[in-house]
Structure 1
Amino acid sequence: MEELDPKQSPRAEAFELWMKASMPMVTLFKTLDVTRLVRLSRRRGLKFNLLLCWCVGRAASRTEEFYTLPVGDRLIRYERLAVNTVVALRDGGIATCDIPFSQSLDQFRRDYLTLTAQVRENGAPYDMNGDYMVIGTSALPQTELDGAVNIYAGFYNNPFVIWGRYRRKLWRASLPVSFQFHHTQMDGGHAAGFLENLQDAIRTLDP
């Protein structure tokens, strides 16, 4: 990773406008067709959450703005992406786990299963120590959600995707998702493009 001079970066104007804003986060909502993920999850014995996290990483890897993130008062450029997931612990608590994104679904699957099992076993979060631009995710399959806005405490600027339980109608499955991002990192058009890339990644998934 490297620190950029904001004034010399493509996000210069956004940095000037939004870095000191009291609420610089934006949230978009989109309903995805996840029929293919549901079918592949059952047919191949793969976790639905694992497949969706990989699709999130794949869509982000096709969106240039994901590689630059405001951190504190700096603008940082990353070379690699990771997807964070929440792990349910044996004692009823939760901990987070960063999964390095790989274009290979098989590699991502191995990392996902190994690292989440490690977190579940020792009860401690696993993070990539700042070497990756991390996309947060939170799955709440206990209920159907129409949308969610993540907490904004002024120090966690990473993009975040939230979803609940997918919905069935006849032979199709749909899933509303919420995507929250820092306006310095990207504009609404970039975020909308990411959501379109996410739908495309799901539609074309062929593990």
Structure 2
Amino acid sequence: MQEVNPKETTRAYAFEMWMKAPMPMVTLFKTLDVTRLRRVSRRRGLKFNMLMCWCTGRAASQVKEFFMLPVGDKLMRYDSIAVNTIVLNRDDEVSSCDIPFSDDLAVFNTDYMRLTRHVSETCENHDITESMVIGTSALVRYDIDGAVGMYSGIFNNPFLIWGRYRKGLFKTRLDISFQFHHTQMDGTHAAGFLDKLQDVINSQFD
């Protein structure tokens, strides 16, 4: 990653407007059709949460705003993306695990299984500092209609939260929330990302 001059980027106005705002985070809600993802999970024996994380990284990699992030009082540009997941560790507490994103699902799945297992067994977080990390939290035991993440003032990373998917007669739906720093992207970029996420779910598993 490297520091960039905000005035030389498309985020110049947003940097000026939102970097010192007391609450610069925005949250969007969307209901995804994950029928296809659930089917792939069952047929291939892949974890549903892993597939959601991969689809998140795949969609984000197509949106250039994800490669920049306000860090402290600076705007940083990254060359790569990672996806974070929260892991229940052996002490029945939670640990954080960053997984490097790869376009190759098999590679991402291997990294996901290896790293989450290591974090679960050691109770130690796995952090990737050289990539722009997208946070996720899956509350799969619970039916939730939405969630708004907190703003710590330290981490400005985009963050997705989802609960248990809802099975219908013909479709399976998943309610998600997406929180982002307004300096990093505008609402139109965030909404476009969520549309791309649905497109990835619908089209990447032929």
TM-score, with length taken from structure 2: 0.99
Aligned equivalents of 2:205, 2:87: Cα separation in 1: 26
* Residue 26 (str. 1) matches residue 26 (str. 2): yes
Paired residues for 1:6-85 under 5 Å: 6-85=6-85
Total equivalences in the alignment: 206
Q: Secondary structure at the match of 2:110?
A: helix
| Alignment-derived partner of residue 168 in structure 1 | 167
Aligned equivalents of 1:18, 1:106: Cα separation in 2: 39
| Alignment-derived partner of residue 102 in structure 1 | 102
Aligned equivalents of 1:45, 1:205: Cα separation in 2: 17
Aligned equivalents of 1:151, 1:78: Cα separation in 2: 24
* Residue 126 (str. 1) matches residue 108 (str. 2): no
Give the letter aligned to residue 2 of structure 1.
Q
Aligned equivalents of 2:204, 2:11: Cα separation in 1: 32
Q: How far does the alpha carbon of each residue in 1:103-149 deviate from its partner, in whole angstroms, 9 at most, with x for none? A: 00000000000000110111100011x20000000000111111100
Aligned equivalents of 1:67, 1:91: Cα separation in 2: 35
RMSD, aligned α-carbons:
0.7
Q: Displacement, 1:171?
A: 2.3
Q: Secondary structure at the match of 1:200?
A: helix
Q: Displacement, 1:205?
A: 2.4
Aligned-residue identity in percent:
61
Paired residues for 1:168-187 under 5 Å: 168-187=167-186
Q: Secondary structure at the match of 1:66?
A: helix
Structure 1: which 5+ residue stretches go unaligned?
none
Q: How far does the alpha carbon of each residue in 1:69-108 deviate from its partner, in whole angstroms, 9 at most, with x for none? A: 0000000000000000000011110100000000000000
TM-score, with length taken from structure 1: 0.98
